[in-house]
Structure 1
Amino acid sequence: MIVRIMGEGQVRLDNAHFTELNKLDDELLAEMESGDEEGFRRTLGALLAAVRRLGTPLPDDALEPSELILPSPDATLEEVREMLTEDGLIPG
């Protein structure tokens, strides 16, 4: 799957990693629902770091369609809330 982190670029991510990412996504969703800004910042950073660590960066000139778009590390709680689906940021 091709994942874009807004403001950073794209990575190719194997579907096998989505179990780990979904745990972080569930944690992020719970922190957003409770208004835990500090937890939200920490978990968003951990989620994006995991995507970077587990994914293979695509060249800047690659024109692959992104199947998943994640917020930038400095996104606000409200900006991320607008990106949510019923599954959170990550489907599944």
Structure 2
Amino acid sequence: MADDYFLLVCDGIPHDVVLTDPGIRVLDVAQVVRRLTGLSLWRSKALAVQVPALILDGVSQEDAEAAVTALLAAGALAQMREQPGPDFLKS
């Protein structure tokens, strides 16, 4: 019996939010990271200074855009990345 693979069409492609530079206002950026992730302030600050850092993983495009906007407003550089599709589709 042959293996059959099906591509499920969902609402959208999951996105990641990556912090690339915290800027000079690290504490402000850490507070935004805390709001986005629910981590403690200490862990948020540690995550903010270890760049590039994956802040959110597999969120919708709207949530990713809102998170990037919040990080940019705090003085950080962040980007939204589309998650790659499955490898078996690349043939």
Q: Normalising by structure 1, what TM-score?
A: 0.34
Q: Determine which structure has more spread, i.e. the larger CA radius of gyration.
A: 2
Q: Normalising by structure 2, what TM-score?
A: 0.34
Relative to total residues, which structure has the larger helix share, 1 or 2?
A: 1
Relative to total residues, which structure has the larger strand share, 1 or 2?
A: 2
